[in-house]
Amino acid sequence: MQEPQFHKLTPRAIRVWQWGNLIGNLFFFAIPAAYAAVFGVDGFHYWMVVVSASIVFIFWMLSVFLTPYLTWKHWRYAIDEKEIDLKRGILFKTRTLIPLSRVQHVDTRQGPILRWYNLSSVTISTAATTHEIPALDSVLADRVRKQISTYARLAEEDV
């Protein structure tokens, strides 16, 4: 079977995810903090707090230094006249096929971190599901959005 032309995301995506996880996953330190606030830090509870805090810390470090790289390494996307093909997943590998004739709308989005790195994400919605290509270069994202909407318009129009 002929494979379509797959593209990788831009390596800047790794930085975006690193910053995002660095800030976002700080939230999980609230769990040991809340535990300490409720039960105090005496005896047994001290060890509970230490263990849970170190688990959260390890998770936090991994989410900053390992998973963004792996996510980037496994992300592939391809767009041609007939469909969008997305491959992703570190442990659970998924490959999703979206026929272009099913695409209802495409938008590009840009959060603060994405804007700092001049990136955008492209969101593809069908009548049933929504998929995202995270972190493309803004210019490229716009081109992808146009490409998808042009192809989608060419494709037959009904649900």
Is 71 near another protein (CB under 8 A)?
no
Q: Note whether 5 binds another protein by CB under 8 A.
A: no
Q: What are phi and psi of 58, to 5 degrees?
A: -60, -45
User: How many whole angstroms separate alpha carbon 137 and alpha carbon 156?
Assistant: 29
Please pick, from the candidates 131, 140, 142, 149, the single residue that binds another protein as defined by CB under 8 A: 131
Residue 91 binds to another protein (criterion: CB under 8 A):
yes
CA distances from 18 to 15, 62, 136 (A): 5, 10, 16
Q: Which is nearer to another protein, 22 or 155 (CB)?
A: 155
Question: Minimum distance between the CB of residue 131 and another protein, rounded to whole angstroms?
Answer: 7
- Amino acid at site 96: T
Residue pair 103/126 in contact by the 8 Å Cβ criterion: yes
Bridge partners (DSSP) of residue 106 are 124
Q: Is 38 in the site for another protein (CB under 8 A)?
A: no
Chain residues in the site for another protein (CB under 8 A): 1, 82-83, 89, 91-99, 101-102, 126-129, 131, 156, 158-159
